[in-house]
Structure 1
Amino acid sequence: APHAYGILDVREVPVNSSTVRLVKIRNPWGQIAPRTWKGKWGKDSDAWTPELQKELGVINSSGVLMDDPMSIFWMAFEDVKEYFSQVEICRVHLGWNEVRGVAWLASALGPGQAFDLTVQYRTNVDIAVWQERHITREGALGARCTNIDVGLAVMRARGSGDDGFVQYELIDYSTRSFDDGVSVEVILEGGYVYRLVPLCMGLLLSSEPRQVTLAVHSLQPVELRKVDSSWREVASAACNGTQKRGKRWSHHRYPDLTYWHQFEPGGCIFMVENRSSRSVAVQADASDSAGCISSRGDFGVVARVPPQRRRIILALAFSPGCARASASIQPQLVPLEMGPSEDASDSSSVHMCLPLVPTGWRDGSIPLPLQFQALHSGSATSNSGSSPLPAPTISRGPVPAPLPSPAGRDLEVPEQRATMFTEDDVELAEAIRLSLASQGGSGRMAKAIPSSGLSWCGSSPRNLEEKARLEKRTKELFATFRHQGMAPNEAAARASEEASRGNTGAG
């Protein structure tokens, strides 16, 4: 049936000295359901005993049926696995924040729409994309599913490529699927504007676009804004997702030429990455595929890949409602003259050429550019041209009075310059506290003021000098790890650990 059934209960009951797992299921058609389960543990099954029926609430103590036997029934768990293709469990986030939006998918009419997600504080997020529902695709008995291939890419701007356009790094990716909805659960760092791009390859040649609903549940408040997408963003999402989820291999004669294949529940994507200094031509043959839609219309294509570029050569999507489908793409390197010198898809489709992903993004050797650190610095804007975003702050209490030292001298607390601190400041103060505590210090902090340093109480001038060196070393390590792209809490923990270990070795 082209609709879901509800699970009302699951039970384990003893039957003839063995344990049987049963599932209570409801047909949403209710009392007008034309048929019901007739197998074991169905309404007429001889496996039932009056005692077991009473225990599971099938009948009451008077022997009266408690539920409509046509729409509500029990099945063995083994039969559920045999006759149902999947089980979906709803995630309920009590007390979380929710924002929603509706957007058009990419089609022959254009690249569709995307979303900007502004995250001020580090937070868990659950992002789901739901396919458009329509009465003609909803549920007459015997109707075929008409869902299309839909995926989702979560990206973040990472500066400009050598072509002058914004380049995106992939944060997370949900492969294309024909399910009603796809989702990702991820922890997003605060201080950035993330670009959420719904993906669909089955509509690229269709003039009948569809919409999707995007829902974001987050532990911390976030802002969602719909924006017009571009073919560059769609191509970036597809390329980045293929490189994250797909399989790669290098050409045996040309090690600088890398092929990427991504097989998804919704189809297949073939991408080529050319790290050499000359253009190459690659042929993709998908003629052995069945029940598929080609992103180019043809199942055989030859395309050029310029030097230091990557591009989607061909993408396949399974046809909606097709009883049987299979995807197969066979690549082959061909003479350069076989590839068209000018391709209309270079700038107006998902097949456009893109710069290579810098390797420094993965190992952290290339830090995030300041212009895209929208919230940690409090001075940058999102890549969509929005106004500067306020820096996240944490209010601190009043500065305590100077603390007397055992030597009889008062340690002055630096003048308070501000009462608002960023996430980095708080994590740095905690790292220094842990470092001192691990060295046998009191760990008592007079006041954490990042702009003026930290003042501590100690037992002797030598202790004060050691604490000052440890504080300085912790700050240096923390700054280094943050520069490498580590999250503030991770950078603080590692800085504390390495500073303490280094200080112990020096002693």
Structure 2
Amino acid sequence: VGSGGEGEAAAAEAMGLLTEHAYSLLRVVSVHVPRTGSIARLVKLRNPWGKLEWRGDWSASSHLWTQELRSQLQEGKNHSDDGSFWMSFEDMLDYFRSVEACHVRPEWAEVRARGQLPSLGAAGVGGVGAFELDVLQTSDVEISLVQKNGRGDSSHAMSDVLVLVLSREGQSYGGKGGSNGSGGSGGSSSEGGGSAGVAGIRLVASSDRSLRPCVTCEALLTAGKYLVLPISLRPRQADKPLSYIVRVGSAKPLLCEPTFIADAQVSAALAAYVKSGGKPHTPFDSMVVYTRHDGAGWISYAENRSQFGTFTVELNQEGSFNVLPSRGSLASLDVIRPQRGQLLQVLTRGFDDDGYSMRSSMQFQMSPMSMAAEAHSPEIEGGVHAPMALAGASRGPTARDMEMGALLQRMGFSFL
């Protein structure tokens, strides 16, 4: 259990709690309170330092205790000063901001590897490091992505982290490395993924993108090859990549090899993530914009599913507060050609304790039978914002499209 940040320090310390500090969760109970006839939900916590205890309701000196309740919970009248204390579940929700469970699975196999993530903004970086899993037989798998938590360093800013598990039929990602070894344990905070496909990439599972020291996803993987992709989208200086540790634990042995994937595959993976949990908006037939709100901010992605019309989307998020745009501007305009998808914008929360908000407006234009070239403002130089071909996209207008175009021309229509 982790207590809150600097903005809550004074209130918490006045009640005997330390901020930016981890407490152990020992017990969770519901007890009948004879004095009020109500049910109290209580938690027992412990400060590992063995001192400084909670001073509020249900603390050692609280008037809410009766001899009967102390006996029921095996709490002696003379409380030992060992750092442990009781508090109401409601107070825990008010003063603590996270709970992490540690899975102890000594029989599991485990491998850990270090890596670095570049900034995945508007400028292309060529690709990122990833890990290929070769699952030999069906197995439960738990994958964690860990970054430095900044504990004791007030100048350290947490970045957003996200881990995706992907598959792509008939694709081997290559790479060199070893297999996983002996068992271990790891903390978790997870969210199941979807299976939306873009450009041949299928999302098998994902964590939530979050400004936390660790994110985790779990999946039951059948035999085959999978890709584990660590991602961070918060803008940062090119010479300051994010260092991380990835941990793969599995109920049955599997092979794990480091590899490298190109920007286009990273874009396709992010598109699948947005589609799996995003809210779709359809301004025209065959034109869809998805927006996903996750633990670190918002991601917007658009698809032009038509065969021959261009799709223009103007995105204005200039009313947002305390967010960092991946494209360097809160306003963007993109002309997307047929059978293409594009990651429009990523907004990531800024300073964690200052609050944040997002305001967004979109304007759309569809140009049927347009042959206009794609256009982008701000300009795109590769990277995750570059347009990508949709899965199963044709190479150009079909014969039927050409016949329809010729018919419209004979009727007096002209095309850009």
Q: Is the pair's TM-score, using the shorter chain for normalization, greater than 0.5?
A: yes
- The answer on 1:233 being equivalent to 2:265 is yes
**Structure 2 vs 1, CA of residues 200 and 290 (structure 1 numbering), >3 Å: closer, same or farther?**
same
Question: Counterpart of 1:177 in 2: which secondary structure?
Answer: coil
- The answer on 1:151 being equivalent to 2:162 is yes
Match of 1:83 in 2: 95
Q: 1:449-464 to 2 correspondence within 5 Å?
A: none
1:186 to 219, 222, 230: 219
**Structure 2 vs 1, CA of residues 244 and 105 (structure 1 numbering), >3 Å: closer, same or farther?**
same
**Structure 2 vs 1, CA of residues 322 and 22 (structure 1 numbering), >3 Å: closer, same or farther?**
closer
**2:163–2:215 contact (8 Å) kept in structure 1:** yes
How many angstroms does 1:77 deviate by? 1.9
How many angstroms does 1:283 deviate by? 1.4
**Structure 2 vs 1, CA of residues 28 and 331 (structure 1 numbering), >3 Å: closer, same or farther?**
farther
What is the CA deviation profile of residues 405-458 of structure 1, one whole-angstrom value per residue up to 9, with x for unaligned ones?
xxxxxxxxxxxxxxxxxxxxxxxxxxxxxxxxxxxxxxxxxxxxxxxxxxxxxx
Q: Percent identity?
A: 28
Deviates further, 13-22 or 283-292: 13-22
Larger relative helix fraction: 1
Q: 1:392-407 to 2 correspondence within 5 Å?
A: none
What is the CA deviation profile of residues 185-211 of structure 1, one whole-angstrom value per residue up to 9, with x for unaligned ones?
211110x22111112211355542212
For 1:77 and 1:12, the matched residues in 2 are separated by 10
**Structure 2 vs 1, CA of residues 145 and 327 (structure 1 numbering), >3 Å: closer, same or farther?**
farther
Letter in 1 for 2:95: Y
For 1:335 and 1:278, the matched residues in 2 are separated by 7
1:345 to 347, 355, 380: 380
**1:103–1:226 contact (8 Å) kept in structure 2:** no
Q: Which has the higher contact order (CA 8 A, sep 6+)?
A: 2
- The answer on 1:260 being equivalent to 2:260 is no
Match of 2:46 in 1: 26
Deviates further, 292-301 or 316-325: 316-325
Letter in 1 for 2:293: F
Q: 1:72-471 to 2 correspondence within 5 Å?
A: 72-107=84-119, 110=125, 111-133=127-149, 137-139=150-152, 143=154, 146-159=157-170, 167-190=200-223, 192-203=224-235, 207-251=239-283, 254-276=284-306, 277-334=308-365, 340=375, 345=380, 348-358=382-392
Question: Counterpart of 2:207 in 1: which secondary structure?
Answer: strand
How many angstroms does 1:311 deviate by? 0.8
TM-score normalised by L of structure 2:
0.73
Letter in 2 for 1:48: W
How many angstroms does 1:317 deviate by? 0.6
Question: Counterpart of 1:179 in 2: which secondary structure?
Answer: coil
**Structure 2 vs 1, CA of residues 144 and 329 (structure 1 numbering), >3 Å: closer, same or farther?**
farther
**Structure 2 vs 1, CA of residues 343 and 289 (structure 1 numbering), >3 Å: closer, same or farther?**
closer
Give the gaps of 5 or more residues in structure 2: 1-18, 172-197, 394-416
**Structure 2 vs 1, CA of residues 287 and 322 (structure 1 numbering), >3 Å: closer, same or farther?**
farther
Letter in 1 for 2:363: Q
How many angstroms does 1:104 deviate by? 1.4
Letter in 1 for 2:289: Y
Larger relative strand fraction: 2
Question: Counterpart of 1:78 in 2: which secondary structure?
Answer: helix
For 1:103 and 1:196, the matched residues in 2 are separated by 13
**2:336–2:375 contact (8 Å) kept in structure 1:** no
Superposition RMSD on alpha carbons, in Å? 2.9
Question: Counterpart of 2:267 in 1: which secondary structure?
Answer: helix
What is the CA deviation profile of residues 220-265 of structure 1, one whole-angstrom value per residue up to 9, with x for unaligned ones?
11122222332122211211101111111211xx312111111111
What is the CA deviation profile of residues 263-283 of structure 1, one whole-angstrom value per residue up to 9, with x for unaligned ones?
111111111101121333321
Letter in 1 for 2:389: P
How many angstroms does 1:130 deviate by? 1.7
**2:108–2:250 contact (8 Å) kept in structure 1:** yes
What is the CA deviation profile of residues 453-492 of structure 1, one whole-angstrom value per residue up to 9, with x for unaligned ones?
xxxxxxxxxxxxxxxxxxxxxxxxxxxxxxxxxxxxxxxx
What is the CA deviation profile of residues 319-360 of structure 1, one whole-angstrom value per residue up to 9, with x for unaligned ones?
1434110123322225888963798635x311011111349x
Q: 1:57-68 to 2 correspondence within 5 Å?
A: 57-59=74-76, 64-68=78-82
For 1:317 and 1:53, the matched residues in 2 are separated by 47
**Structure 2 vs 1, CA of residues 324 and 206 (structure 1 numbering), >3 Å: closer, same or farther?**
farther
How many angstroms does 1:167 deviate by? 3.6
Match of 2:400 in 1: none
Give the gaps of 5 or more residues in structure 1: 360-507
Aligned pairs, how many? 338
Q: Rg larger in 1 or in 2?
A: 1
How many angstroms does 1:58 deviate by? 4.0
Match of 1:486 in 2: none
For 2:163 and 2:304, the matched residues in 1 are separated by 25
**Structure 2 vs 1, CA of residues 342 and 248 (structure 1 numbering), >3 Å: closer, same or farther?**
closer
